[in-house]
Amino acid sequence: MPNSLLSIMKKIARKKPVKILVCEGWDERCLRASAEILKKKIVKIVLLGNKPEITKQAKKLKVDISNAEMVDYKKFKGKEKLVNKLVELRKHKGITTEEARKLLEDENYFGCMYVLAGYADGLVGSAICPTAALMRPALQLLRQPGKIVNEVSIVKVPQKKNQIYFVSDCSLNINPSAEELAQIAVNTASVARTFKYNSKVAFLSYSTKGSGGDGEDLQLIRKAVEIAQKQDPQSVYEGEMQVDAAVDVNAAKRKCPHAKIKGDANVLIFPNLMASNILTHALMRFSDVTFYFTILKGMQKSVGILGRSTPMEVVRNIIISVAMEANSHD
C-alpha cells in the first residue's frame, strides 16, 4: 500500500483515541496485526474470544498483545443488557429474549451489539467466517437509518503507473435505483477526499454519453449523475461512461471530448452488482491489479470486512481504516 495513503490513515486514526473490536481475536493474522498496531500506539484493540486461548496463541506466535483488552463473549458480565437492547431493536421482527440470547452466542452478533452499546468505536471480523456472517448483523444493527450501505474498495493499477482508484459497489447492492446509485457515488467520493484526492467520479456503463442509446438503464445512470452533483457540488460527476473513456485520455478525446471528465477519473461507480462483481473477481484472477482494502459507508459504527484469505498486512490496514472511519464520523 502506498505510504502516503497509509500515513493519512494513521494520522486520522490517531486524531482521538478509538477502540476497535476484533471479532476473531484468536486468529493468527488478527493477532499479528493487532500486536503491530499496539506497538505503534495507533489504535486501542479489544480481542474477542476465550482469554486463555488467545493468550496461548499469542505466546505461540511470540507476539505482544499485553496492551490489548480481551472480552469473552460467552462470559461477558453485561451480556443481559445487550440481550435486552437487541430485543428492543428487533421487536418489530418479533424476536424473543431467548432468541436474542442465542444470537449473542455468535461472536459477530455479540460484536455488533458490543459496539452499538458504546463499549468500542468500531469492529472488524470475518477473518475466519464467511463475509455474510458478519454483514447480516452489521446491516441489521449498525446501519444508519434510511441510508444505503456501500463498500468502497481502494485499488492500485500497475498498468496505469500505480494509479489509485476508489471503486464501488462490488459486494452489497444488486440493482440500485438512481437515488441509491447517487448516494453510493457521493459516499465513495467522500472516501477519496479523505485521502486528499479531488474526486472525479465516473458512472460506468456500456455506453458513453449517449452512444448506447436511451434505454431505461442509461436514463437511470444519467438521473443518478444529476442527483449526485446536486448533493455534492465539490466533486465532479460524469456519466454514463465506458471504462476506457473514464480512465484513458486518448479514448476520452475520441468518445467524449466535451465531458467534464476526460480520462482522468479516480472514482469508478458500477451500475449494478452483476457488472462490478464479475469485473473485480476477473481483475483479481487475470491481472496485477491490487485491492488494498475496503471501507463500508452508511454505518452508524465503523465495520471492517477482513476476508478469509486476506494477508496480515491487509488485516492491519483494515483495522486502521476502521479507526480512521470512526474518527471521520465526527
**Domain boundaries, given as residue ranges, for the chain:** 3-143+299-328, 150-286
Question: What do you get for the CA distance between the two ends of the chain, in Å?
Answer: 26
Nearest CA to 11 out of 330, 260, 328, 241 is that of 328
CATH 3.40.50.10750, applies to 150-286: yes
List, for residues 21-58, the tens digit of each pLDDT value: 999 999 999 999 999 999 999 999 999 999 999 999 99
Give the integer Cα–Cα distance in Å for 320 and 13.
6
Does the structure show a pLDDT above 90 at 314?
no
pTM of the full predicted structure?
Answer: 0.88
Q: What is the DSSP letter of 19?
A: E
Mean pLDDT of 140-148: 92
Q: Percent of the chain at pLDDT above 90?
A: 85
- pLDDT at 310 exceeding the cut of 90: no
Residue 77, number of CB atoms within 10 A of its CB: 8
Cβ neighbours of residue 242 under 8 Å, at least 6 residues apart? 204, 205, 206, 207, 208, 211, 251, 255
Q: Residue 93: what residue type? A: K
Architecture of domain 3-143+299-328: 3-Layer(aba) Sandwich (3.40)
Q: Is-same-fold flag (3-143+299-328; 150-286)?
A: yes
Residue pair 65/58 in contact (Cβ under 8 Å)? The answer is yes
Q: Residues 197-250: pLDDT tens digits?
A: 999 999 999 999 999 999 999 999 999 999 999 999 999 999 999 999 999 999
DSSP 121-182: SEEEE-SSS-HHHHHHHHHHHTBPTT---EEEEEEEEGGGTTEEEEEE-SSS-SS--HHHHH
Q: Tell me, what DSSP letter sits at residue 96? A: -
Q: What is the CB neighbour count within 10 angstroms for residue 96?
A: 11
The C-alpha atoms of residue 132 and residue 327 are separated, in whole angstroms, by 26
pLDDT at 129: 86
The tens digit of pLDDT for each residue in 242-298 reads 999 999 999 999 999 999 999 999 999 999 999 999 998 899 889 999 888 788 999
Q: Which residues contact 287 (CB under 8 A, 6 or more apart)?
A: 159
Q: Which of 296, 292, 323 is nearest to 188 (CA)?
A: 296
Burial 164-173 (b: 16+ CB within 10 A, else e): bbbbbbbbbb
pLDDT of residue 329: 66
* Sequential DSSP letters for 258-317: TSS-SS---EEE-SSHHHHHHHHHHHHHHS--EEEEEEEESBSSEEEE--TT--HHHHHH
Is the pLDDT at 2 greater than 80? The verdict is: no
pLDDT score of 1 = 64
pLDDT above 70: percentage of residues in the chain: 99
